[in-house]
Each structure stands twice: as C-alpha cells, then as structure tokens.
Amino acid sequence: MLTSLKIENVAIIESAAIEFGCGLNVLTGETGAGKSIIIDSINAVLGERTSKDIIRTGEDSAKVYAVFEDVSETARDVLSENGIDCEDDVLIVNRVINRDEKNSCRINGVPVTVNMLKAVTRELIDIHGQHDNQALLNPDRHCGFIDSFAGCDELINTYRDSYYALCDVRKKLNSLKTDESTKAQRIDLLQYQINEIEMANITVGERDELIERKNLINNSQKIIKSLNSAYDLLKGDGCGVDCISDSAYEIEKAEECFTSLSPVLEKINNIKYDLEDVAEEIRDRLSELDYDEYELDEIESRLDLLYRFSRKYGETEEDILNYLENARKELDEITFSEERIQLLTEKEKELNSVTTGLAEKLTQERVEAGNKLSKLISEELEFLDMPNVAFVVSRAATELSENGADEIEFLISANAGETLKPLVKIASGGELSRIMLAIKNVLADADNIGTMIFDEIDTGVSGRAAQKIAMKLRQVSEGRQVICVTHLAQIASQGDVHLFINKSVRDSKTYTEVSVLLDEKRVYEIARIMGGIEITDLQLQSAREMLEKAGNL
C-alpha cells in the first residue's frame, strides 16, 4: 500500500508530506485548494505523462516521492525481472520533472525508464478518475474489462501471435495471386533487366578505374614528355646515373689509399642503385601509357553505359548488382508462384484453424466471465441503491480481428421493464459513478492491487445514493487501501484517515498544505462540506452524529 507521498514544487504546492493509512483515506478541501494536484502527483510516480507546466512558478524542477509497503508478489516479480531489489517489501519511487533538463525516474535508487516505472506501479495502484467513466461509455473498451476480469491475458497473447501470423500469410498470398497479364508483364520486364545487367558484366569499382584511365590518356602526351625528360636525365650519357657511377669509380680508387672514405663510397653506391630503380620505374610507367586510338572511345562508351544503369538500377555498382540479385529473387518467386501459393494456402488453412480455435476459447471464457460479471455487478448495483437496474454483458460474433471474434458491449436497463440499451444512451453521471464503482470493486477482487484511488467518484450523486457509495467504499477498504477525493460528507465521515487540503496566500504567493483532521476539526470540516455560508450548530451536530455513526469519533 501507499504509505507516504512527498511533493515538492508541484503547481501551488511548495512542499507537502502526506502520510496515508490502512483502510479508507479521504481527502477534502475547498474547490481549487489542490486536491487534483495530489492526484496528478500520484499519477506522476505511476509513470503517466506529465507536463513541465506543473512545475511551480519560479522553480527549476518538481519532485514527487512515494513509499510503498507490503509490496505484492506480482510487483516483486516485475522488479526482479528488471534487476531491482525490494528489501523488506518496501518500495521507494521518485520522479523529477525538470524545466530545462531531461526528467528522471528511480525505484529504490535505481534509474529506470518511464515504461519500467509503469510496469511496476500498475501492480501497486489502480486509480480511477473521470476519464474512466468515459472509457465505460466506449464499447471498444468493454472487451478489455471482460478480459481483465477473466484473467485470460496469456490466451489473448497466444491468439494474437497466431492471428498476426495468419495476416502475414494472407498478405503474401494476395501479393502472389495477381492478374495473369500483370504477372506476364512483370516477368518480361524482370527478364529484360536481368539480361541487360548480366550482359554488362559490371564489377565493383569499375567506374573509378575507368575515370582514372581516361584522365591518364587525356594527359598522356604531357606525362610522356615529362617522364622521358626525367628518364633521359637519369640514364642519358654523362647524366644522372652515369655521373654518379663515375663519381663512385673515382672515390673507389681514392679509397684504396684512404680507407676512411669507405662510408662515403657505400653511400654513393646506394644512391646509384636507388637512381637505377627510379629509372626502371619511370620506364615501366611509360609502358603503361601505351594505348591505341580506340581505347578512349571504348572507355567513354563504357562510362556512358554505367551512367545509364545508375539512373535505372542504382547509383553505384554495388546498388546495380543488388538490384540484379533482387530481380532474380522476384523472378523466381513469380515463376514458382504456383508452388508457393500451394504451400502458403496450406499454411493459411492451418493457421486459420488454429486461430479460429483460439478465438473460440476466448469467446467461451468471455461469455462465462460476462455472465459472472453481470451477476456480480447487478448485486453491487443493488447495494448501491440501483435495485431495478439490469446490467448485461452483450456478446456478438464478428470476423476475426486482433481481439478475437467477439464484440462486447455493456447494456443496462435503468428501470424495471425497460429495454436494454447501451450505457452511453441512458446512463447519467451519478449512475456512471456507481456502475464504475461496482465494476472496479468486482475487478479488484480478481487481482492483487493493494491500493485503489477514486478521484471524485461521487460526481452526480447525493442523499441515499451518496450514503450507499460511502458504505461500499468502506466495505472495499476492509480488504485493501482506498484513497478517495470527495465533496460529500457521507463519504468523508466514513474515512479511517481524513486529510484536509488547505490553500493560503502569503507574501503574494499561493501555498497548499495537507493536514490530518482529528476530533473537533474533523467535525467542523464535515459540517463545512454539508454546505452553507456559515456553519450552524445544527450542522455541527449532524456532522458529529455522522462521524459517531461511522465509528470515527
């Protein structure tokens, strides 16, 4: 359960530390005091999307810390899967929303992603707000309520794997079963393209080599002249190597009598050998410049072909060859499409049988769960002062989809003898609040969620209906922690813990504070909720009687 919540710089709350207890926790306060901010703060630590606008004016960041105790085994399993320890079944979650920097989430000091945070906290808290009533009016969401109650998540996942595989096979079959004339045209085109590329005998890097050769030929006269001059200077009579050789000969004669010249002789001989090597390399390069008058035309023609191919099949030689490979594969697929169609048809038949069987199992579980849910919710509604309301889970067959072969919708008859109709057509705000409370209560019995939060579950109700909701919330809180934001005295008086949210202005700044109400302060708050500009003795007496009757005074 949620034992404590610390809020810093969230909207008008500069700093608030809230301690929650077991059983029913009620939050009351004037409109605009900050009750919704507390719910928003809880949503933040649950990993819900949070805007930077919640950061208090003048501050750089907002922080929310939550402590959970007696963490369920399911939640511990999720933590373990993500490598997070949960010593003594205590969990500390904190989330920081920064104005200019990236937001951060931590669980027991370990940085986590928002998705990981959601995966863990969804096992800890079930929160109900006004948007849930809208979900109740949307028939597309009703199947999810039934599946949650039936606990058939594993079956749904297995079904969807099979269904997606079936869709993939059907897509491939549709692609192969094209019009015969279209298929023939495609075969002709692919054969032409394959033959054209194969005949070209393209190699990777060919274009660069041709461009280099073309540049060499275009500049060959200039290059030949320079290389011949260099060669003559090295190998001509009385030049280059000959001069070095003559010098070496003279030094060698001198070295016979002047032995210290040996190093000099070795160096000049090395120079001679190096120059001879250079001369040979120049001669080799000159031989490379031999070309006939047609070579340049052939290079131009080849480059033109590569350019045309690059516009048709891909920019580089690698792209062109990849296109060739893909064209061959596609031609094979079309050529042997009959064989592939036969194989895929058999696969489609097999998958359709498996998928249909799984859909039938889903239908069976949903029908059983729907009947059970209808009965339980009807009992809950009777307790909530709606004895004549008939609640039915309707099921209609549909084509296979990712959700199976069922169309689920909740129908109600608000009064005895009236025809069953969709919720959206006949349910009032007060009825929706009670129906959602009934559904939440029934579904809660099917899971291990330790904390349930209701944000203004009392919308549209008063009097006897309000008293019934209060009694139901108290009953639900006997098995789990319940936190409820309320405007009704009937509900507030039933709380085991009464938290009061108060707004004040100091030094031109707004502050919200949260305090626990006890004894006469709680009596006064219950009387204030009852209404009236001034609190009368009669209202105080009624408030005291209400608290005494609930056993809270």
**What's the pLDDT at 297?**
85
Give the integer Cα–Cα distance in Å for 89 and 85: 9
Give the integer Cα–Cα distance in Å for 29 and 442: 29
CA quadruple 116, 122, 127, 132: dihedral sign: positive
Q: How many CB atoms lie within 10 A of CB 120?
A: 25
**What's the pLDDT at 390?**
85
**What's the pLDDT at 165?**
96
| Closest to 462 measured CA to CA, from 440, 433, 438 | 433
Six-digit token pair at 429?
């705000």
Q: Helix crossing, 317-335 with 295-313: angle to 10°?
A: 60
Beta bridge partners of 17: 6
Q: How many CB atoms lie within 10 A of CB 121?
A: 24
**What's the pLDDT at 135?**
65
- End-to-end CA gap in the chain: 25
Six-digit token pair at 436?
């959602």
Q: 10-residue block means of pLDDT along the chain (553 residues)?
A: 92 89 91 82 89 89 92 83 83 91 89 88 78 70 86 92 95 75 84 93 92 78 70 65 69 69 77 78 73 78 93 93 93 79 91 96 95 90 83 92 92 82 71 78 72 80 84 87 91 93 82 88 92 84 91 84
**What's the pLDDT at 180?**
60
CA angle 435-437-441, nearest 5°? 120
**What's the pLDDT at 370?**
93
**What's the pLDDT at 464?**
84
Q: How many CB atoms lie within 10 A of CB 61?
A: 17
The H or E element spanning position 70 is none
Judge residue 352's burial from the number of C-beta atoms within 10 Å of its C-beta, 0-12 exposed, 13-18 middle, 19 or more buried. middle
| Closest to 363 measured CA to CA, from 330, 400, 323 | 400
Q: How many CB atoms lie within 10 A of CB 335?
A: 14
CA angle 3-447-491, nearest 5°? 55
**What's the pLDDT at 545?**
92
Give the integer Cα–Cα distance in Å for 423 and 390: 11
**What's the pLDDT at 5?**
94
261 DSSP assignment: G
Give the integer Cα–Cα distance in Å for 114 and 45: 9
**What's the pLDDT at 317?**
93
